[in-house]
Structure 1
Amino acid sequence: MDNFAAPWYSLDWFSLSSFKAYTWDNPSFLYALVAVPFLFLFRWLWRYRFNQKLPVAVTQKDLRVSPLTLIRLLPEFFLMLALALIVVALARPQKSNEKVEQWTEGIDIMIGLDISQSMKIEDFSPDRLEAAKGVARDFISGRVQDRIGIVVFSGDAFSLAPLTTDYDLLKSYLNEISFEMIENRGTAIGSALAVVTNRMSESESKSKVCILLSDGDNNGGNIDPITAAELAAAYGIKIYTIVVGKEGQVPYGKDFFGRPMMIDNTVDETTMRRIAKIGGGEFFRATDNKALSQVFARIDQFEKAEIKETRFKDTTDYYFIYLQWAIGFFLLWLLMKSTFLSNVLQD
């Protein structure tokens, strides 16, 4: 029989298996159970010592001890049980359906995503930006308890999403990212780092990380990328930089007949390498979707601050069961206290 499905008046609530299954919200109250019998023993001794006694002369043959005389103690016994059960109720017995132990991470991560026109190049499938959005979604899905934010940049930079653990919201923001979000053309890497630093400057996390993804050429904004990297490093932000794209002939759009048009593409890694070095992170180069996924997977493994978390799910209280029993025994005490079972001379 499932003890926890029994009615409140069932004796199963007092079985050893039931008490072993409980977790106690206020376990310190259980120590008071030891004091309950001593309290009543003290009460009986007090009454025996100080209550009125009447001298009565009886013969030796009338001094007989009968088990029936012990019935007089029943009211006190019921009162003691009521008090003990109130103490159990105050300890608040509970049962949880599931105990979960897992390793969680508590890192603040800002993703800086380049949405400049060069991210339309189709050396990634379907293009650089969509590939970056896809691996960013997978990266977010793989994190637990981390606060993540998003900064987008081209000729200017702005914070698209603040640091949050609402991963569904972050993914919806990623889906909405487009090349038209910023009018100014260019790639303002320094401005992006400045916005990241501003977002993370008040963070109290022990680990602050920026993942900066771009095609590598800084040609916009009014903040020097190296200066911005030094400022970020001063706030304890570790910077990982990812340069995407192939060099040489790459597809960019289609011609009148639907055939891919090819353009010359160069990649400047110098600035991004220096930024990663200043920020104490690493520089990565990705030339296709698979390589980009591998880069994010490596960063995911690097940045883990593991904390053991124990959680209980679906907690149910059972204190009211013992409170009902206590009320029942208390009412029995009141009833018996007013009957012949009580010693009226002592009361």
Structure 2
Amino acid sequence: MDNPTDLTAWLSLEWFMPSSWKAFTWENPAFLWGIGAVPLLFLFRWLWRYRFNQKLPVAMTQKDLHVSPLTLFRLLPEFLLMFAMVFICVALARPQRTNEKVEQWTEGIDIMIGLDISQSMEISDLVPNRLEAAKDVARNFISGRLQDRIGIVVFSGDAFSLAPLTTDYDLLKSYLNEINFEMIETRGTAIGSALGVVTNRMSESEAKSKVCILLSDGDNNGGNIDPITAAELAAAYGIKIYTIVVGKEGQVPAGKDFFGRPIMMDNTVDETTMRKIAKIGGGEFFRATDNKALSQVFTRIDQFEKAEIKETRFKDTYDYYFVYLQWAVLCFLLWLAMKSTFLSNVLQD
């Protein structure tokens, strides 16, 4: 719609369209009842005049009686006055339009995901195996974050930073897709080394909250840094550590033989070390023995580590009462002009 502050924009008939009125909010909606009262007032006025105005009997023959459309013009001044009063009611109701803009932001959290890619993560007690199940829930976790910087560290017998802290979630997901068991040649599970790399990556972070999610089968047997010492160092830098042990203990499937039968092997899990790491890091320890449990663990961590979302609202309110006030003045001036014309008086008489 045209800007009503323009000199001629108020003349547009679009101001009377239902779509325009639906877009309005009304500061004084009670005056809208006057729109319905105005026609009733004029109807009462016409009935009063018809009943009590002086009438002069005139004798005329039937052939002298003619009905002409011109006689309807005598009603035009009355309608102009009626519309002027209707427009005054609309103006008094004060139609407005409000444009609301909402800005959301958060200070964000720095999160490093430490992902075990040792050979034991190839065990298929989770579907299709432990590593792929972990990658899947990690992708979902990343998708649910807002403005948080996230990085990835992978480890087996050694550890390295796969992705630095970033808000490019598509890039992180592409890195997750490329993770495989051949990325690190050194065999074993170096949990201490992984925590060391995480601490190095987050040591210069100025985020209000720094979090490490360490996911492994829990049996540290590699690297040259003691996991407990590495956890204490991470805690000194204000890094909260959540530890997740994936997989079952005892007999677990480790592939299939030539005939398609599952090959079972013994699996042990060092929960004690992972529990100590979580306690030192001020986080929590979790155990996930299947895909559903692993997904629930990441959901819980997602709920724990939510940054406060701040919101600012801007409202721009525009008044449009003067549009209808100008129409009221126009109708009133036309009523004054036509009321005083010779034609109107003749038709009225």
Find the aligned partners of 2:100 and 2:140 in 1 and give their Cα distance: 28
- Compute the displacement of 1:259 (Å): 1.9
Contact 1:105 1:144 (8 Å CA) reproduced: no
Match of 2:46 in 1: none
Letter aligned with residue 167 of structure 1: Y
CA shift digits 1:261-313 (9 cap, x unpaired): 1111111101100000000000000100000000000000001121313488x
Which structure has the larger Rg? 2
In the TM superposition, residue 7 of structure 1 has moved relative to its aligned partner by: 12
2:125 to 123, 127, 131: 123
Q: Where does 1:93-242 land on structure 2 (aligned, <5 Å)?
A: 99-102=101-104, 104=106, 106-242=108-244
**Cα distance in structure 2, aligned partners of 1:194 and 1:131:** 25
Query: Any conservation in 1 of the 2:107–2:207 contact (CA below 8 Å)?
Result: no
SS of match in other structure, 2:234: helix
Cα distance between partner residues in 1 of 2:249 and 2:109:
34
Deviation at 1:248, TM superposition (A): 1.1
Deviation (angstroms), 1:97 = 7.8
Q: Aligned equivalents of 1:104 and 1:141: distance in 2?
A: 16
Q: What SS is found at the alignment partner of 1:3? A: coil
Figure out how many residues of one structure are paired with residues of the other and give that number: 233
Is the contact between residue 2 and residue 9 of structure 2 (CA under 8 Å) also seen in structure 1?
no
Work out the CA distance in 1 between the residues paired with 2:207 and 2:7: 51
- Contact 1:105–1:143 (CA under 8 A) maintained in structure 2: no
Match in the other structure for 1:74: none
The letter for the 2-side match of 1:227 is T
Letter in 2 for 1:165: T
SS at match of 1:181: coil
Q: CA deviation at 1:186?
A: 0.2
Residues 16-66 of structure 1 show CA distances to partners (whole Å, capped at 9, x for unaligned) of: x9xxx9xxxxxxxxxxxxxxxxxxxxxxxxxxxxxxxxxxxxxxxxxxxxx
TM-score, length-normalised on structure 2? 0.62
Q: Structure 2: which 5+ runs fail to align?
A: 25-97, 315-349
- Whichever residue aligns with residue 231 of structure 1, its letter is L
Runs of 4+ in 1 over 3 A off after TM superposition: 6-12, 100-105, 309-312
Computed over aligned residues only, the root mean square deviation of the Cα atoms, in angstroms, reads 2.7
Residue type at the aligned position of 2:150: I
Of 256, 259, 280, the match for 2:258:
256
Aligned identity (percent) is 87
Name which of 273, 291, 301 aligns with 1:289. 291
Deviations 1:126-182 (A, max 9, x none): 000000000000000000010000000000100000000000000000000000000
Distance 1:104 1:155, change over 3 A: same
Distance 1:105 1:133 in 2: 26
Gaps of 5+ in 1: 22-95, 313-347
Q: In 1, are the aligned partners of 2:153 and 2:194 still within 8 Å (CA)?
A: yes
CA contact (8 A) 2:231 2:280 kept: yes
Cα distance, 1:105–1:245 mapped onto 2, change above 3 Å: farther
Which SS does the other structure have where 2:204 is aligned? coil
Range with bigger deviation, 132-141 or 300-309? 300-309
